[in-house]
Amino acid sequence: MTNREDQSRRVKELIVRRLKLDVDPLSIENAAPLFGEGLGLDSIDALELVLGLEQEFGIKVEDEEVGVKAFASVDALVDFIEQKQNA
Partner 1 sequence: MSARLPHGYPFRFVDVVLRERDAAFTSGTVSARVTSNGRAAMGEGWASPLLLVEALAQSALLLEGGDADIGRRGFLAGIEGFEAERAPRAGETLRIEVRLAGRFGAIVRFEGEVYGDRARLARGAIIVRRGEGSPTTPG
63 is a catalytic site residue? no
- Least Å distance, CB 69 to partner 1, is 13
Contact window for partner 1 (CB under 8 A) among 10-18, 23-31, 38-46, 75-83? 38-46
Helix (H, G, I), strand (E, B) or coil at 10: helix
Of residues 61 and 77, the one with the C-beta less far from partner 1: 61
Q: d(Cα 84, Cα 35) in Å, to the nearest integer?
A: 22
Whether 45 contacts 33, CB under 8 Å = no
Catalytic pick from 6, 42, 63, 79? 42
